Amino acid sequence: MTLKNKTILLVEDEMLIAMSEARRLERYGYAVIIASSGEDAVDAVKQNSGIDLILMDIDLGPGMDGTEAAAIILKDRDVPVVFLSSHTDQETVEKTEKINSCGFVAKNSGETVLIASIKTAFRLFSAHAMIHNRHMNPERENSEMARKIFRSNPSGMLIARIADAVIIDVNDSMELISGYSREEFIGNNAASMGLWGEQEDRDRAIIMLMEKGRVRDFECRFRLKTGELRWGSYAADVVELDGEQCFLITVVDVNTRRTAEDALNLALKEKEALLKEVHHRVKNNLAVISGLISLQADRAGDSETGTVLRDSRGRIQSMALVHEELYRSGDLGRVDFGAYINRHCRSVLSTYSMSGRINLEIETDSAKLPVSLAVPCGLILNELITNSIKHAFPGGASGTVRIFFGKNGDVFFMHFGDNGIGLFGDIIPDRAETPGFRIVHLLTRQIKAEIKFPDVPGMAFEMTFMDAV
């Protein structure tokens, strides 16, 4: 079976991304099976014995993540796994290191890097399979078949005696990768040839061999005959050949991928700085729009047009505040929604000159909302408090608005209520005539929230929704 007619199980919870990735892989001749969750991936491997490689997203939404699914699969099936993630932080990378995988690829690394990583994974797996399945015992090593596999393996391989570290054999790929001839290798050792790029890497590899008896997926730099340093994925096993204990060492050149990832990490830092500036500019632009609408509202006075304009200004301000909170915080992906609730509600009361008449009781925890949830939730909150200000306390009456927000496990909750005159009749948001409740209906549907209007004195609204992972 050639690389171009192998079957790949693509595990990705975003179906549009999955379809796009599948088309790219199919253009290179791979057959693709798609699973949208960790649980589906485990089932797919059980039901399909023809899967040759798993391309596993780490973040799979609610339920089992990619590393958990891979661990379950690898208990029963020996198959190469390449992890995908849009996160390259230390915590994410360390999660994958606990799994016996064949690589880690950052999303958006590009088609060339992805395909190269898949080919590298197949080569690594082929080398490991030879080590494990054939055990490299003397009888097998002396056989013509074993020598043929060793010589023609696409991964660079060498054999060195443990007693004196002298190299006794290399394959053709090792000659090609390093630039040294077989004759230059034989009788020498890696240290005298200067093959290790860093002494610290050599020491770490030796420690791993001493502790575990083998090394897997150890990425380090190695030196070519020309003196150039390149990244390689290093693996080593202890084998017995002709009665002697030897190291069987495998090296796969991963320099293209590592160089691309380094460039990507630099680009991510630049993107973070740019994103912070974007949030700042968006906030300022929304503030300008809000100011223009305010001028028009003042000219319209207390007319229906003026009311509509002031309501629109409030909605714009609720979105602007999300971007302001993002700009002020160190986390450009999530908003401290408790702080947002306090700032926005007090701003709305001030705008409507209700700070002295309406008392706010706000109780929140430290839960943070991703931007995809923060903007719709901010708009929902804006409609609820605006409704209370306008309708709950007629005739100059005073009252209290209570807001509770927090997170229980993966579920966010927001409870809003006032002790005003209450709502008239049963509220059915999708049939409501007012723009405010129609907005609430559309936005709760967007974030897949469950909502209730409890039958209690005053007005009460409860909403629960899942975190957007």
Quick one: angle between helices 15-27 and 111-134, nearest 10?
70
**What one-character DSSP code corresponds to residue 397?**
-
Report the pLDDT value the prediction gives residue 274, as an integer from 0 to 100.
60
Half-sphere exposure for 316 (CA within 13 Å, toward CB): 19
pLDDT at 115 over 80: yes
Query: 261-466: what fold?
Result: Heat Shock Protein 90 (3.30.565)
Question: Apex CA 304: angle with CA 301 and CA 307, to 5°?
Answer: 65
Q: Are 237 and 124 in contact (CB under 8 A)?
A: no
C-alpha closest to that of 351 among 378, 305, 382, 396: 382
Please give the average per-residue pLDDT across 373-398, as a whole number. 88
Please give the average per-residue pLDDT across 223-241, as a whole number. 89
| Bigger pLDDT: 196 vs 135 | 196
Report the pLDDT value the prediction gives residue 349, as an integer from 0 to 100.
87
**What one-character DSSP code corresponds to residue 464?**
E
| Alpha-carbon separation of residue 291 from 284, 294, 296, 318, 389 (angstroms) | 10, 5, 9, 14, 21
Where are the chain's structural domains?
A: 1-130, 135-253, 261-466
Q: Report residue 111's pLDDT band, with 50, 70 and 90 as the boundaries.
A: confident
Average pLDDT, the chain: 82
| Bigger pLDDT: 3 vs 190 | 190
Q: Are 365 and 374 in contact (CB under 8 A)?
A: no
Query: 135-253: what fold?
Result: Beta-Lactamase (3.30.450)
Find the largest Cα–Cα distance for the chain. 100
Q: Are 235 and 250 in contact (CB under 8 A)?
A: yes
How many helices (H) and strands (E) would you count in the chain? Answer: 16, 17
Q: Which CATH class is domain 1-130?
A: alpha beta
Q: Are 95 and 67 in contact (CB under 8 A)?
A: yes
| Interval 61-98: pLDDT, tens | 888 888 899 989 988 888 889 988 877 667 767 777 77
Q: How far apart are the C-alpha atoms of 258 and 261, rounded to whole Å?
A: 5
Residue the block writes with tokens 């409740």: 437
Please give the average per-residue pLDDT across 377-386, as a whole number. 90
Q: Report residue 468's pLDDT band, with 50, 70 and 90 as the boundaries.
A: low
Report the pLDDT value the prediction gives residue 141, as an integer from 0 to 100.
44
Report the pLDDT value the prediction gives residue 440, as an integer from 0 to 100.
87
Report the pLDDT value the prediction gives residue 347, as an integer from 0 to 100.
86
Report the pLDDT value the prediction gives residue 32, as an integer from 0 to 100.
93
pLDDT at 102 over 80: no
Q: Report residue 138's pLDDT band, with 50, 70 and 90 as the boundaries.
A: very low
| Bigger pLDDT: 268 vs 367 | 367
Q: Which of 47-51, 138-142, 180-184 has the lowest mean pLDDT?
A: 138-142
| Interval 406-464: pLDDT, tens | 999 889 999 999 999 887 555 555 555 677 778 888 888 888 899 998 888 889 999 99
| Interval 299-323: pLDDT, tens | 777 777 877 777 777 788 777 777 7
Q: How far apart are the C-alpha atoms of 224 and 195, rounded to whole Å?
A: 7
Strands 156-161 and 244-253: antiparallel
In the chain, the percentage of residues whose pLDDT exceeds 90 is 20
Report the pLDDT value the prediction gives residue 332, as an integer from 0 to 100.
66
Tokens coding 75: 């208990």
Quick one: angle between helices 66-76 and 38-47, nearest 10?
20
Q: Are 292 and 299 in contact (CB under 8 A)?
A: no
Kind plus residue range of the DSSP H or E element containing 169? strand 167-170
Question: Apex CA 105: angle with CA 102 and CA 109, to 5°?
Answer: 150
Q: Are 255 and 232 in contact (CB under 8 A)?
A: yes
| Interval 247-283: pLDDT, tens | 888 988 888 887 787 777 776 666 666 666 665 666 6
Quick one: angle between helices 371-387 and 304-328, nearest 10?
140
Please give the average per-residue pLDDT across 196-219, as a whole number. 86
